[in-house]
Every structure is written in C-alpha cells, then in structure tokens.
Structure 1
Amino acid sequence: MKLRNLFFSISILFVSTVVSFAQNGLWSIEKAKKWEKEHPWYCGVNYIPSNAINYTAMWDKTSFSPELIDKEMLLMEELGMNCVRVVLQYVVYEDDPDYFIQTFDHFLNICNKHRIKVMPVFFDDCVFGVNTDPKIGKQSEPLEGWYAWAWSPSPGCSMVVDERTHHKLEIYVKDILSRFKDDNRIFVWDLYNEPTNTNFPERSFPLLYKVFKWAREINPKQPITSGMWNGNQKLNDFLIENSDIITFHCYAPKEETEKKMNYFLKFGRPVICTEWMNRVAKSYILDILPVFKNANVGNIMWGLVNGKTQTHLPWGHRPEQLPYTGEWQHDIFKGNYAPYDQKEIDLIKSMIEK
C-alpha cells in the first residue's frame, strides 16, 4: 500500500509539473501592459496567398510565390492594416530546414517592406477535408464547392498523437524561435492554433504543454500565446495561466463578441482576437470593428483575397450545394482585388487612421 501511494504521489507531482511548467518565465501583467503601450492597435488578417490551397502550398518549394505575396501585402498596406497571422508548416521544415528558414525570412522581409508585423503559428489541429497529415510537393487543386477542401494541419494528426515523434517537433520549434527570437518583424508567437480541434481532443494536450515549455526555454523577446476558441475549461484554464497576452477566436455577432472580449479583458493583459469575421454567422466588420477599436483590443480577421481555399463559402459547404448565392463567409477582396464590400474597406481605413 505504501508503494502504491508513493507511485500515486509521484504521478500527481509529474502531472502538476507538466501543467504548470510554462508559468516559468510568464510575463508579469506589468510587462505585458508595457508591451501593449509600446505597440500600435493591431488590425490585420489571417493570411494565406490566394493561389495557395493550404499552408503547405504557401511554404513549399513547388509553390512559394513571393511576387504574389508582395502584391497582396500592398493591398494591406493601402488599407493601413499592420499585421498578419500565418501558420508555419512542419513538413516543409523537416524536408529542408535551411530552405524553410530562408523562405520564412523572405516572407518576413516582404511584410516588413509594407510595414506589416507577423504572428507565426507553429501548430494547427484544424482539418476541413481529408488531409489529416500534410505532404510536401504539389498540392491538390480545389474541389469546387468545398470549403477549405485540402486544408493541411501542422504537423498533422499522426505526429500530434504519437509522442515518440515530439523530439523532432522540439528541434523545429527551438530552431525557429532561436533564429527569430529578437526579430522586430515578429510581434507575437502563437504556439498552437485551436488545439484539440481534432477527432482525438485529449491527445493534443501533451504537445500543447511541450510547445509552451520549449518556447519558455528559448525565451523570445516577443510575447507567446495560444488562442481560446471553444468552451473546453481545461484548455482555457491552461492558456489563460500560461499566455503572456490573451488571444481568442470569436465568429459570432456583436453582442457575443463584446461579451467574450470583456471577459478576457478582466485578466488585465493585452487582448487580441486572432480569428473573427464570419458574415454568415453575423460576425460583421461594420458591427464589430468599432468595438475592438474602442476597447483597444487587437483583431485579426479571416482573410484577405479570396482564392483556392474557397473560404467565401460557409463551413461545411459541399459541391452538391452549388450554386452558392449567399453572402461571403470570409475574405475582404475578390480574386481580382476588387473589394467584396466597399463599406467594409472604408471603415477599416477610417478605424486605423484614428
């Protein structure tokens, strides 16, 4: 019995250590507020080039498109937008680390040319089609009528659930953080997009805990975070306790967005809504952007130029439902760079100029 109690005590200690380790190095509220004062009100987009069907295509040797990215960053600069959030792709790094580092640096230079700061995301659990594990090389073409048909998570479900592979992911995270930890072109590190958004929710926690630990060991000068996106209390408690600044997702009407925003502001840290704007769900730019501005809450909407991801369609849209005649879910520019709604463009410009 004593031996069993000893094992139990050790197990409890181990779990407690895993959940709380990321607090080592957590910014104080004072440091976080100082960071907020030294930075502008952030307003931007979750960015993926219009010719990329997923983030693998954005970074891959076969399809990285700096000329197109430059054109689309110019659109943002003309709006006055000052930030983008982008998901990195582990399999592209794994294939050729030097290439990936150079390509990421090239992307940062393009953004910097247009006075746009970058929020990189290391991991992403989301899947909208059949690609639960990404593969390098030429990606699938769009399946017309299917929202985000070939979306590719990072690193993919197989590596997330197989902890024997996590040492490879540690190398990836620490390599990139070490190289860019003092880089002024990056304003925040988002460590994991929507962890648990998978068929195996609990299996995401080990990697989530580890990526916070790895980031704290490198100790970048930029704040680290991961956004709250659902009602998972275990997940949200961990993220609130371990993020330097608070980030969240909210694709909801004005009243619900404002309620969530005010809840997160109570923690005293800077707040950024890192995903929002879903016209189908009544998350409208004209309604909500002034709310964020008045509260000095940063915001990163989805997305910029409509393209191969077909994110103008609602979540779950399938080819048999074509033609789609409703309002666009995401994106503020058409493929020819014409605004979807000029009123939205005018408001964005006016809000940022204030």
Structure 2
Amino acid sequence: MKGFVVALLGATMLTMAPAEARDRWSETQAGAWYSKQPWLVGANFTPASAINQLEMWQAETWDPQRIDYELNLAQGIGMNTMRVFLHDQLWTQDAEGFKRRIDEFLRIAERHKIKPLFVLFDSCWDPNPKLGPQHPPIPGVHNSGWVQGPGMAGLRDRSRYPAYKAYVQGVIGAFGRDERVLGWDVWNEPDNGADQYKGQEGKEPMVRALLAQVFDWARAADPMQPITSGVWIGDDWTPGGKASAMAKLQLAQSDIITFHDYSWPETFERRIRQLLPYNRPIICTEYMARGNGSTFDGSLPIAKRYNVGMMNWGFVDGRTQTRLPWDSWQKPYVMAEPTIWFHEVFRADGTPYRTAETDLIRRLATAPKGVVPLPPTTAPVPRRRR
C-alpha cells in the first residue's frame, strides 16, 4: 500500500503545474507586451535547402550559412520576425544538439534583428513523420515533404505523451526567458484534416484533448513570451459566436490572438474585425496565396492600419516548392510552371519574385505603427513652359 501511495503521489506531481506557473495573460499584460514590439512583419521560414522542419533542424542537414543568407534578405526588406517550425522527434532524437542548433539560429536571427515565433506541433500534411534522410521533393507538387507533429501514431499512443510534455517544457524551459524569442505558437492548424492522406480517423478530438494539455504544459514552463495557437477555419470567430470547439479552445487559451487567412482583402478585414472584441494583440501568422486572392498589396495595408502583425507563408523558393499552388496535389505542375507563383517572396538566387512586393513590405515596415504611407509617385513631372 505504501508503494502504491508513493507511486500515486508521484504520478499526481507529474501532472501538477509548479506553484510559480503563470495564468493566461490578462488583456492588460498582452497589450503591454505588444506595445513594446515594432509592427511585426515577417514570413513562415524554412530555408530553401530544407523540404520540411526535420530536414531544417537535423544535424546532418543543418545549414546555418543558408539561414544567414536568407535572414539577411529578410532584414533587407524590413522584416523583423519569422515563424519557425520545430518538431517533437528532434527533441527525442537529440535534445542537447537540438537546443544548440536553436541557439545558433537565434544568434543568426539576432544579427539580422529578427525575433522568431516558434511552432511546437503541427497537424498539416504527412501524418507519418520519420527522422533521418527525408525523401526528395515530388516533382511539381506543393509542400510534398512537410510532416505533422506528433503525427497519427504519436497521437494514438498515449504512452508517448510524457515525452511531448518533456519536449514542450524542455524547449520553453531553455528559451522561455530568452529575449531573442518573440513567442510560442503551440500548435499549427490543429483541426487541419490533411485529407489527402488516409488513416487519420478520430484525429480532431485527440488533437483537441492534447492541445489543452499542451497549453497547460507551456504555461507551467512560465515563459515571459506569449503563448498562442492560431484559428483558421470557420465563418464566425466573434466572442460568443459559432466558432468550432477547437477554435474556442484556441481563443480562450491564447495570450495573444493569432489567425490564418488566405482570402480576398474584404474577407481578411472581416476576420480582423471579428477578433478585435477580444481586446488582445492580433497577429496573422499565415496569409498570401496570390492565386487565391490573398496578396501583399491587398492584405498588408489593411493589417498596418489595424496594427495587426503579419507573417506570410513562404520566403525563398526551394525544396518545399510552395511557389506551386495547393491544387498541384491533384495535378502536378511538371510540364509547366503556374501562371503566377502561389507563395514565396524571393527566388533561390535572392532576387525578388516581384520587386513591387518587396518595396511595399519595406515601405510599410519602416513607417510608424498604424501609418500606411502613400506609394512613391510614378506620374511624370510636367515641364515648365518657357
């Protein structure tokens, strides 16, 4: 009996947050944090040399020179943040090495005046992540190597959950007091069905239950940065509205509000207006799909007026192939490129895909908060009559 009691107490202690664990930030705390930030503008970042988050971070394919080169491009157009995906298997594989590489990434980012928002888990694309060499890009297909974390096997195996807690608290414990880090996006699109892959039955309720624990674990690590998870589907995100159970969990637990929108400017602005009543900082952590109506010139000026931070999907064209549209999964673009690039800001050689876009980003980034400067005039200067 004594052994049973000791074991029970030990199990209870593992599930309890430490006494100093913080609550969700108040609106005042969240606002105070945001007031200290510049207008946040950046991208979702994977170097051109990596097909996914595993290839980016594993020791054998770690590429700090390429990362430095690309973050220099970002700094050159006024970007000051990047959303960067991590993975639980990287922690399990080599926690100390993973932390060293994160620290090296932060040193590179700091040189370029960029603070990353780190993503811990992800429900998008391949549900069967595997460490080691990653397969080459599938010709003509968008994001053909991206992997979920923890993946379906990991979701179904509850014996692995203590390892996920160790990952969350290990990473946040190491960098949660690091001023080089912007914040923690604990789960990307948790209710994404990744429907092109089979064998994911029962995924959403498992993710939702685990996400609630992930929020608790992250707060128990007591970071000084905000914790969030971005809403992305549904037509009503207003307080008391008809949001899904997952979206309500995300909105109720996040210190700051984050969301995704790949729609036309009218929809994008409506999304912002739905989220304003939460009275918390708002950051759009994914947008910009040219062929879908979401563009820099359509969305960025709106966000700047509302002081909403912005991180577009994609940065430099590379192994993720996200210049190709989503429909490439049904009809790969093997014989010809799409008419316009879907995502990405730069070509692999560092030249802008569209100079007008990088000029716009730079112009908005350097203007005061809430100010949308007029574009430089292109009208010809009339000649004086003699």
TM-score using structure 2 length: 0.83
The equivalent of 1:54 in structure 2 is 52
2:300 equivalent to 1:299: no
**Map of 1:92-241 to 2, 5 A cutoff?**
92-127=90-125, 131-198=126-193, 199=200, 200-231=203-234, 233-241=244-252
SS at match of 2:344: coil
Aligned with 1:247: secondary structure? strand
CA contact (8 A) 1:125 1:157 kept: no
Q: For residues 123-175 of structure 1, give each alpha carbon's deviation from its aligned partner in whole angstroms, at most 9, with x where no partner exists.
A: 00101xxx422222221111111111111122222112322211110011111
Q: Which amino acid aligns with 1:206?
A: A
Please, which of 328, 334, 351 is the counterpart of residue 347 of structure 2? 334
Is the CA contact (8 Å cut-off) linking 1:61 and 1:137 kept in structure 2?
A: no
Q: Which has the higher helix share?
A: 1
Judge conservation of contact 1:278–1:284 (CA < 8 Å) in 2.
Answer: yes
Question: What is the CA deviation profile of residues 191-230 of structure 1, one whole-angstrom value per residue up to 9, with x for unaligned ones?
Answer: 0101021332222112101100101111111010000011
Q: CA deviation at 1:320?
A: 4.6
Tell me the distance in 1 between the aligned counterparts of 2:109 and 2:176: 17
Establish whether residue 345 from structure 1 lines up as the match of residue 358 from structure 2.
yes
Contact 1:311–1:330 under 8 Å retained in 2 = yes
> What is the Cα deviation at residue 234 of structure 1?
0.5
Structure 2, gaps ≥5 residues long: 1-20, 194-199, 235-242, 368-386
> Is 1:28 aligned to 2:29, yes or no?
no
Superimposed CA distance per residue, residues 89-135 of structure 1 (whole angstroms, 9 cap, x where no aligned partner): 111211111110111111111101100001001100101xxx42222
Deviation at 1:321, TM superposition (A): 4.4
User: Superposition pairs for residues 247-326 of structure 1, below 5 Å?
Assistant: 247-318=258-329, 320-322=332-334, 323-326=336-339
Q: Please give the alpha-carbon distance, in whole angstroms, between the structure 2 residues aligned to 1:181 and 1:60.
A: 22
Kept in 2, the 8 Å contact 1:161–1:204? The answer is no
* In 2: Cα distance, 1:325 partner to 1:80 partner: 28
Read off the aligned partner of 1:117 and give its amino acid letter: K
Q: Distance in 2 between matches of 1:327 and 1:95?
A: 39
**Contact persistence 1:32–1:245 (CA under 8 A):** yes
SS at match of 1:248: strand
CA offset digits 1:5-41 (Å, max 9, x no partner): xxxxxxxxxxxxxxxxxx9701110111111111111
Q: TM-score, normalised by structure 1?
A: 0.90
For 2:85 and 2:354, locate their aligned partners in 1 and report how far apart those are by CA, in whole Å: 27
- The CA deviation at 1:312 is 0.7
Contact 1:196 1:203 in 2 (8 A): no
* Conserved 8 A contact 1:190-1:226: yes
- In the other structure, the counterpart of 2:38 is 40
- Name whichever of 134-143 and 27-36 sits farther off: 134-143
8 Å Cα contact 1:89-1:154 kept in structure 2:
yes
**Equivalent pair of 2:22/2:222 in contact (CA under 8 Å):** no
Q: Secondary structure at the match of 1:317?
A: helix
How many residue pairs were aligned?
330
* Post-superposition offset of 1:324: 2.9
8 Å Cα contact 2:141/2:333 also seen in 1: no
Offset of residue 241 of structure 1: 1.0
- CA–CA distance in structure 1, aligned partners of residues 360 and 114 of structure 2: 19
Structure 2 SS opposite 1:48: coil
Look up the match of 2:376: none
Name the Cα RMSD after superposition: 1.5
CA distance in 2, matches of 1:262, 1:320: 37
2:353 partner letter: Y
Q: Specify every segment of 5 or more residues in structure 1 that has no aligned partner in the other structure, as ranges.
A: 1-22
Q: Distance in 1 between matches of 2:147 and 2:251?
A: 27
Q: Which residue of 2 aligns with 1:246?
A: 257
Deviations 1:262-284 (A, max 9, x none): 11112100000000001011101
